[in-house]
Chains A and B, each alone.
Chain A
Amino acid sequence: SAVISQKPSRDICQRGTSLTIQCQVDSQVTMMFWYRQQPGQSLTLIATANQGSEATYESGFVIDKFPISRPNLTFSTLTVSNMSPEDSSIYLCSVDLSGSEADTQYFGPGTRLTVL
C-alpha cells in the first residue's frame, strides 16, 4: 500500500482566487491521478499526471483551469484557478501501484474546497 497526504485538508476561498493543492506519497510512483468529488456525488477524473510528461486531461477539464505539476516521483500539485462557487468540491489525488494487484489505486484523504 501507499501513504498519501494532501495539503491543505480544507480551505475556504474567495471567488476569482487560485488554490494549489499538494499531494505527497511515501514511495516513488509513476502514475498519479487527480479526481474531483462534488457534494453528494461520486468521483470524476480530472487528469492523469505522470512524472516526466505533461498531464493528460479528461473531457471537461483544461490545463488553464487546473494546471498540474509533477516534479518528481513522490509529489504533485493541482491548482484550481480563478475559482467560482461551482469549484466547491473535494479534490483527491491517488496513485497506482501497478505490480501489486491489477489496477489498484490508493487515495489521499482529500482537500475540501469551499468557494464563496
Chain B
Amino acid sequence: TQLLEQSPQFLSIQEGENLTVYCNSSSVFSSLQWYRQEPGEGPVLLVTVVTGGEVKKLKRLTFQFGDARKDSSLHITAAQPGDTGLYLCAGPFSNSGYALNFGKGTSLLVTP
C-alpha cells in the first residue's frame, strides 16, 4: 500500500503568518498533486509536481517535490482567511492507472 502521511493534521493560525504542510511516503511516486477542498465542495487541483526537486509557485503558495519523489511540501506565505480549507496531497496508485491515493489531509484555519 502506498501510504501518504500528511502533517500537521490541523493548523490554526492568524492572518499574515507563514505555514508549511508536509506530505511524506516510503514509496516513490511518478507525480504528486495538491488539492484544496472547501466545505460542501469537491477537491480543487492546485498543482501537480512531476520532477524530483521541482519547485512550483502559485501566488503565495510554493510547492516542492522531494529529490527522491517520496515527499512534498506546501508553503503558504502571509496566509489569508481565504486560504482556509482542507489541503490534500495525492499520488497515483501504482496498479490502478490514474486513480489517486490521498493523504488524510491538513485542515487549515486562518483567522483575521
Which residues on the A side are within 8 Å of B62 (C-beta)? none
Say yes or no for A43: interface residue by CB 8 A criterion: yes
Interface pick from B11-19, B72-80, B89-97: B89-97
Min CB distance, A25 to chain B, in Å? 13
Which residues on the A side are within 8 Å of B63 (C-beta)? none
Known contacts A103-B31, A112-B40; A42 and B45 CB within 8 A of each other = no
**Chain B contacts with A in 82-102, Cβ cutoff 8 A:** 88, 90-93, 96-102
Say yes or no for A92: interface residue by CB 8 A criterion: yes
Number of chain B residues whose Cβ lies closer than 8 Å to a Cβ of chain A: 27
Say yes or no for B66: interface residue by CB 8 A criterion: no
| Number of interchain pairs (Cβ within 8 Å) | 68
Cβ–Cβ contact B98 & A42, under 8 A: no
Which residues on the B side are within 8 Å of A96 (C-beta)? 97-98
Say yes or no for A20: interface residue by CB 8 A criterion: no
Which residues on the A side are within 8 Å of B33 (C-beta)? 103-105
Min CB distance, B85 to chain A, in Å? 13
Nearest chain A residue, comparing its CB with the CB of B107? A40
Cβ–Cβ contact A101 & B48, under 8 A: yes
Which residues on the A side are within 8 Å of B42 (C-beta)? 4, 92, 94, 107-110
Nearest chain A residue, comparing its CB with the CB of B86? A42
Which residues on the B side are within 8 Å of A107 (C-beta)? 35, 42-44
Which residues on the B side are within 8 Å of A110 (C-beta)? 40-42
Bound-state CA distance A102–B48 (Å) is 7
Which single member of B41, B43, B96, B98 contacts A98 (CB below 8 Å)? B98
Min CB distance, B83 to chain A, in Å? 19
Bound-state CA distance A45–B30 (Å) is 19
Say yes or no for A56: interface residue by CB 8 A criterion: yes
B interface, CB within 8 angstroms of A: 30-31, 33, 35, 40-45, 48, 50, 88, 90-93, 96-105
13 residue pairs A–B, Cβ–Cβ below 8 Å? A31-B98, A43-B102, A96-B98, A98-B98, A102-B30, A103-B92, A103-B98, A103-B100, A104-B48, A106-B45, A107-B42, A110-B40, A110-B41
